[in-house]
Structure 1
């Protein structure tokens, strides 16, 4: 246990509040070593923290998804295969990217509308909107 890093050093390095590390521990995501009641992390736990932070920030995984993925990493059992979690998240992200691409194209099209008119009267805007058919009288 000589190569342990204090919780304060870990929090500062990963730009996390100490309370986040405490919370992740309560959730069962981390298992720090204890010395005189203080938390310290070994290299395996530091890599785990880096992975959790990466997944939270860039992968947009929930803590429940992370817990499931990490249990698969720890146990290496087929039932807890972390690849399923990652594959599912990739699908969600790809859907979101498609939505954002559509929104970007739509908003760029709005920039072609004249500045002096109301946006709902803009020909470009109206051309992009499908209206319901009028009901017969």
Structure 2
């Protein structure tokens, strides 16, 4: 089995479009080398790197942070479970905050945006006299991590 993969093989194995592979390469997330005939070839470790990129982006981690985490894995080294553990630790707090916010959003989706304030008919129940305006703009209640959702 060849250690090198063509761009088509990488696209098929990773489930990504060739254009996405070229984009990730331009961003420094993966790398290829050229054959004597000027064709792109990828080492097999690129599949694990792409899995990490896809997982990170699916979790909502900005591509720049995924790139920063991957920069800690030596070029040519297939990312290991230990490498993934280190990367996921970097994202742990951010993901926990996102979980809290998304849970609140899901639970309040039909009633309130967390006071921005677009639901003037129901908002007086949770934001009487628009007192949350003193905290600033945006969805104040939803943005409070770790607090009771209905706390005023």
TM-score bracket, normalised by the shorter chain, equals 0.5 to 0.7
Match of 1:55 in 2: 56
Instruction: Provide structure 2 residue ranges, at least 5 long, that are not aligned to the other structure.
Output: 76-82, 112-118, 132-152
Rounded Cα–Cα distance in structure 2 between residues aligned with 1:53 and 1:107:
27
Change (3 A) 1:71 1:82: farther
Please report the TM-score for the alignment, with normalisation by the length of structure 2: 0.59
Alpha-carbon deviation of 1:53?
A: 1.8
Q: Considering only CA atoms, is the larger Rg found in Structure 1 or Structure 2?
A: 1
Q: Deviations over 1:21-48 (max 9, x none)?
A: 1122122222213222111222212221
Instruction: Provide structure 1 residue ranges, at least 5 long, that are not aligned to the other structure.
Output: 76-80, 111-118
Equivalent pair of 1:30/1:45 in contact (CA under 8 Å): yes
Equivalent pair of 2:29/2:70 in contact (CA under 8 Å): yes
Indicate the structure with greater helix content: 1
Match of 1:130 in 2: 128
Q: What is the aligned residue count?
A: 118
Please report the TM-score for the alignment, with normalisation by the length of structure 1: 0.64
Q: CA RMSD for the aligned pairs?
A: 3.2
Q: What are the within-5 Å matches in structure 2 for residues 1-137 of structure 1?
A: 2-35=2-35, 36-57=37-58, 59-74=59-74, 86-107=88-109, 110=111, 121=121, 126-132=124-130
